[in-house]
Amino acid sequence: MSTRLTTLQRTEVHAEGIWSARWSAKNRLLTGGQDESVKHFEEKADGTLGLLHSYEGHTLGVVSVDVHSSGQVAASSSLDSVIRVSHALVTEVNVYQVACPWDAAKI
């Protein structure tokens, strides 16, 4: 797993640092970064990672990402105290939930 993350950092998929990462079903990787975005990658047959989707909308750095064990639902939280929940295989966000900072940090 560390080799894959090293490759990701070399390709500079986030404009700034990666603050959170989570592997999901079917060798997919979700990352959240200081650049206020969430990126969703899939491992290709040759072992490299290809970008599936980029989720925008947080107004401060993404500090936490997680994916349901089915790989279908993803969530992210950021320093803006917003928790975003989306279907992990499409680009649109299905639910917005604004939380208190101490609640958003628990995701």
Taking only the tens place, the pLDDT of each residue in 24-79 is 877 788 899 999 889 888 888 887 788 888 888 888 899 999 988 887 888 898 88
Residues 6+ apart with CB under 8 A from 1: 23
pTM value is 0.74
**To the nearest 5 percent, what fractions of the chain are helix, strand and coil?**
15, 45, 35
> What's the rounded Cα separation, in Å, for the pair 99 and 107?
11
Question: In the predicted model, is pLDDT for residue 107 greater than 70?
Answer: no
H or E element, residue 94 = strand 93-98
Phi, psi of 48 (to 5 degrees): -85, 165
